Amino acid sequence: MLEFPKDFAWGAATSGPQSEGNFHKANQNVFDYWFEKDPKAFYDGVGPDTASNFYNDYQTDLPLMAQAGIKALRTSIQWTRLIKDLDTGEVDPTGVEFYNNVIDCMLQNGITPYINLFHFDLPIKLYQEFGGWESKHVTDLFADFAEKCFELFGDRVKNWFTFNEPKVILDGEYLYQFHYPLKVDGPAAVQVAYNLNLASAKAIKKFKAWKKANDSDAKIGTILNLTPAYPATDDPEDKKAAKFATMWDDNLFLDPAVLGHFPAELVKILDEAGVLWESTPEELELIKDNTVDVLGVNFYHPERVQRPSVSPKSLQDWMPDIYFDNYEMPGRVMNVDKGWEIYPKTLYDIAINLRDNYGNLPWFVSENGMGVSREERFMKDGEVQDDYRIKFIQDHLVQLHKGIEAGSNCHGYFVWTAIDCWSWKNAYRNRYGLIRDDIHTQTKTLKKSGRWYKKISDDNGFEED
């Protein structure tokens, strides 16, 4: 029996824009706008307008989640639902009422709320008027939005998070064109990375002031998708490539969040390339003084790299991947539907890295899961027989348990996701839920994995195969 620590949090994660639908929202976010402008860019033409209908179904969805053993739920508050006037920060009463009701319903069902403040869903108006996260003014608006959330819901929410996967904002919006506004601008991505770290620190500063004024025991953190890069070989040039990839993909956000400063070697490389962000001593001091209490780690797949086939000294536009090429390891196990390698040992490696290099801060797995397409092919007697998902989760929990046994300070595991949810460009192509959502009828039913997850959640562990 692999037993997990006492009070280990067994949860699931989703987000407001992927679950709620657009019902009665005060403003559009970038995905709402993009779908309205170009619906063909989305898989099967399915946009975010209904999603999994959580806005209308939360009173039945949350008890169903409890039946799947979900004792904690990480979701997000949509800036575009809560705030009516994006300039003044005036709230929308309908949005306030909705989130109050959801939080109360979570607690009534024995589900602890973990609330995230930003899940890729910036109000489109802030792009159109200020350039989005390229603007430091937007970092102030975000901190004000965060403060409003603390004031409205902090009496019941004890677990707050500023951002989900800030690196994906760079990748999708500024480098590889899979999120609106579909730019390819490496130097802008560098500035956005800095601004996101600054925005998080500003929100944490507001949180600290609110916490002190209200004598609260709440904690605040951030959610990072960590993908430490493995070199293709022991060749020094492959190792150099892997070091840069890890600094760019992980440490660019991990170091400021936990240690209060950016990696010196990365700063030097960016400065020598002429692309280093614009910063002030006051801003850097603010980042230093406002680190996280807790870290959420999203993990799905490893990263493998090799030396770049073209020297980064070549005449070319600056992009982070001029310092490395991706490497596909022969014989790797894959989730073919998603195109991701399955390598659970990375979760152990992350656990040890956080133990040894980041003060062994409290952390939890905030997302981990397996999505496959055409999941109806595994339906039998009305239930999805998703043994592949059970194996994926169990294999990762085995490695996580090894990390905990080795002293890493991990206190929870959240599967992505509770109920099949809408996924950015890919809509419902790949299903991740412990609970199936028939999007045509919005009928939701437990999968085999949901019944299995209930057992391990109740037992706080499982028998290792």
Query: Mind telling me the catalytic residues?
Result: 165, 367
Query: Packing angle between helix 136-153 and helix 93-108, nearest 10 degrees?
Result: 50
Q: Are 296 and 290 in contact (CB under 8 A)?
A: no
Please give the Cα distance from 358 to 174 (Å, whole number): 29
What is the token pair recorded at 256? 């400021």
Continuous segment of H or E residues that includes residue 102:
helix 93-108
The upper half-sphere exposure of residue 276, i.e. CA atoms within 13 Å in the direction of its Cβ, equals 15
Please give the Cα distance from 101 to 84 (Å, whole number): 18
Q: Which residue has the tokens 């960590």?
A: 226
First vs last Cα of the chain: how many Å apart? 10
Q: Are 32 and 180 in contact (CB under 8 A)?
A: no
Please give the Cα distance from 114 to 416 (Å, whole number): 14
Please give the Cα distance from 282 to 297 (Å, whole number): 29
CA distances from 321 to 171, 310, 311, 312 (A): 11, 11, 11, 9
Q: Phi-psi region for residue 132, left (φ > 0), alpha (ψ -120 to 50) or beta?
A: left
Alpha helices in 154-249 (DSSP H): 166-170, 186-214, 236-246
Residue 321 corresponds to which amino acid? D
Q: Is 339 exposed, middle or buried (CB count within 10 Å of its CB: 0-12, 13-18, 19+)? A: exposed
CA distances from 298 to 346, 369, 414 (A): 12, 9, 9
For the chain, helix, strand, coil in percent to 5 are 45, 20, 35
Residue 257 corresponds to which amino acid? A
CA distances from 235 to 226, 227, 306, 458 (A): 24, 21, 9, 47
Please give the Cα distance from 123 to 80 (Å, whole number): 6
Tell me which residue of 219, 107, 72 sits closest to 159, measured CA to CA: 219
Q: Can you give the three-state secondary structure of 390-419, one letter per residue?
A: HHHHHHHHHHHHHHHHCCCCEEEEEEECCE
